[in-house]
Amino acid sequence: MTHPQYLDTLDMWEATAGLPEQLTGALDAASRTLADVRLPAPGDVVAAYGDDHSSVPIWVGKGYDAPAFVGPRTLVFAISHSGDGRETLAATKAAHERGAPVITVSGDGALADLARSAGFPRFDFPAGPTNARTAWGGAIVPVLVTLSHLGLTDDAVPSLTAAAAALGRRRDTFVVEGNPADEVAGRIGRTIPLIYGSTGLAGVAAQRWKTQVNQNAKTPAFFAVQPDLSHNEVAGWGQHGDVTRQILTLITLRHRAEHPEVARRFELVVAATDEVMAEVIPVWAEGDDDLARFFDLALFGDFVSLYLAGREGIDPGPVATDADVQAGLR
């Protein structure tokens, strides 16, 4: 779908709304790939999911090197939508040199070339989204399905299948007049959103809200995670309330499976910050398990970022500052 009211040169509305179908397509593609490749012996979303569902520790790296523990007994997933991510390519080469088995998830590019030359198992991103921001389901699904296939996590396929169906219904509520995502965007207005999640997938969803607002709405946004924020960040709200209440809106990402003490911390933090925020907006996840609740919160934030862009006449697709930085690295 496109939104006829808003500027959108790269079809970000259409691509964002396609997440349910993207998950389904990625599941089918991953199953076909797993049937054809020989896997080695036994992303933020995957690491957070793995906290409760994996028999081995999962670590996410976003730099140019592989950590010291990476070696022949470490399974490495190298993920790059373009296939030319400089950090991913450098870290993958470092891991390969240390003898680590590598699986890639990428589009065409240098990473795909490396996978072919080195014989790495490789997943392609599903056809459709041309932007990494809207192709993220295609990155998550192959990793979760592979880990399940290897017996390193619970079987994620039933949860992903159910999440895709639920997201289709949820997506349809975000594109009608007076929908909750548009309402939240209207309440944020021209203030800066501060998104609070909790340890695990809700914390990753909070980070995605922040980055989507940055890139789609071209505006500052920040996030923090419970329970850690109640030990440090909350201490920063003792002063400057006359300033912060004019420019900051707090959004809390909640779900019914959060730890009771985390729920209590949210109540206490909201009480402590109510007077220093323009507004406090709770957003509750729908869904029956961790993955469903994560995707629900993330899709909610994606649409909020699009409505924020649309309300200001901003094209959500191009990100000129990021392009300038990447050009400077060449």
Q: What is the pLDDT of residue 152?
A: 86
Assign a CATH topology to domain 12-163: Rossmann fold (3.40.50)
Which residues, at least 6 apart from 295, have a Cβ–Cβ distance to it below 8 Å? 19, 23, 137, 163, 166, 167, 287
| pLDDT, one tens digit for every residue, the chain (330 residues) | 557 689 999 999 999 999 999 999 999 999 998 887 776 654 676 777 777 777 788 889 999 999 999 999 999 999 999 999 999 999 999 999 999 999 999 988 999 999 999 999 999 987 776 788 999 999 999 999 999 998 888 899 999 999 999 999 999 999 999 999 999 999 999 999 999 999 999 999 999 999 999 999 999 999 999 999 999 999 999 889 999 999 999 999 999 999 999 999 999 999 999 999 999 999 999 999 999 999 999 999 999 999 999 999 999 999 987 666 666 666
Q: Is 198 helix (H, G, I), strand (E, B) or coil?
A: strand
Domain ranges of the chain: 12-163, 186-311
pTM of the model: 0.93
Q: What is the CATH number of domain 186-311?
A: 3.40.50.10490
| Torsion on CA atoms 192, 257, 79, 42, rounded to nearest 10 | 160
Helix (H) or strand (E) holding 246: helix 241-247
Same fold, 12-163 and 186-311: yes
Q: What is the pLDDT of residue 1?
A: 59
Q: How far apart are CA 21 and CA 167, in angstroms?
A: 9
Q: What is the pLDDT of residue 55?
A: 76
Instruction: Return the sign of the alpha-carbon dihedral for residues 234, 46, 167, 261.
Output: negative
Q: How far apart are CA 168 and CA 166, in angstroms?
A: 5
